[in-house]
Amino acid sequence: MSGCQQVLIKMHASGVNPVDTYIREGMYAVLPELPYVPGKDGAGVVEALGTKVTKFKLEDRVFCSSTSRHGTLGRLATFPEAAVFPLGGNLSFEEGACLGIPYFTAYRALVQKASAKKGERLLVHGASGGVGLAAVQLGRELGLQVVGTAGTDEGISLVKETGAHDVFNHRDPKYLKKLGAEKFDIIIEMLANVNLGNDLTLMNPRGRTIVVGSRGATEINPRNLMQCESAVMGVALGTATAEEVAEVSAAVCGWHQGGWVKPKVHKVYSHDEAAQAHHDIIHNKGAQGNLVAATSPPPRQPPVFHPGSHQPSTTAATSLPPRQPPTLHPGSHQPSTTAATKPPPRQPPALHSLALLYGDDA
């Protein structure tokens, strides 16, 4: 895609996703070239437009999201027009930065993969995080009977407030027995390495478990899939086709402007605290919605992180050459957001971080 189809966004907020942490650790399947600016979800205002952009005008409030792009954790970011969407006036920039990966994933899982039908019973296993809450909201909107799980009292309350018909504490030793009293047509699974074996016993005939996250291997009994002809499917936004992304984003845009899509922002970190946000999204116990890093007003250079290094280099960025604003020349390739310095050789992953390679990326 040439620069003439790109949108330059003055970023106000950057959504924080587990995938950001995996990339920073150098432990993700697809690593960007160095140097790079983290952040795949964001919201802000249109600052400049490529000559062929037709959907937007200057000063439009927008959100952007792309699993193949990055750069929202900075003062400015360019995204292709197809990855930029109008942000309804009923949502703040912080909320807008939580629309992309969480809601797109929930939609892809429930609609494009599970083909959810009105009246079906849905279990959102790990419902208090960004994708989980989005799945609860979307499940209600689709007319499903929604059951959630969470691990803390705060998380349980949040999932209930978000619209679940029933919520169980997955730290209660007896929760599985309670859950299984009535089985499910669809399970959205955030931690398959812990739950998948049990999920297979919780499905109705022709049930579908959609794996959104997993941090390792697990044991299952395939007989449980045979007896009721159920299915397990993986979902990852990055594999969606352009047509599928267009469908997802059109639905989520329509819905959030209609009012019922309301991301829960649990905490807003300052720009300087981005490293802490990337830590917390993985290691905090008991999610309660989304984490967001504020990006405006910009105090200084956006942080530049090096995949493969284990300590965030938020301060090291000051030693890089001054950041040039991206130029958008028709016919040129994607603008580079920093000077084209040769990236340092990639370090082999350290063993203590290997588990993260398999972490959930949404």
The footprint of its own copies (CB under 8 A) covers 29, 113, 189, 192-193, 196-197, 205-206, 211-212, 214, 216-236, 239, 358, 361
Nearer to its own copies, 170 or 266 (CB): 170
**Nearest distance in Å: CB 208, its own copies:** 9
The total number of residues written for the chain in this structure = 362
Between CA 61 and CA 44 the distance in angstroms is 6
**Nearest distance in Å: CB 349, its own copies:** 15
Q: In terms of Cα–Cα distance, which of 247, 209, 259, 249 is closest to 229?
A: 209
> What are the structure tokens assigned to 2, written together?
């040439």
**Nearest distance in Å: CB 148, its own copies:** 20
Q: In terms of Cα–Cα distance, which of 60, 34, 32 is closest to 47?
A: 60
Nearer to its own copies, 22 or 255 (CB): 22
Q: In terms of Cα–Cα distance, which of 270, 249, 317 is closest to 87?
A: 249
**Nearest distance in Å: CB 288, its own copies:** 24
Between CA 90 and CA 323 the distance in angstroms is 33
**Nearest distance in Å: CB 359, its own copies:** 9
7 phi, psi to nearest 5 deg: -120, 130
Nearer to its own copies, 235 or 248 (CB): 235
123 phi, psi to nearest 5 deg: -110, 125
Nearer to its own copies, 42 or 100 (CB): 100
Inter-helix orientation angle 100-107/130-141, to 10°:
50
Beta bridge partners of 291: 16, 267
Nearer to its own copies, 152 or 224 (CB): 224
Nearer to its own copies, 106 or 274 (CB): 106
**Nearest distance in Å: CB 205, its own copies:** 6
Between CA 147 and CA 335 the distance in angstroms is 45
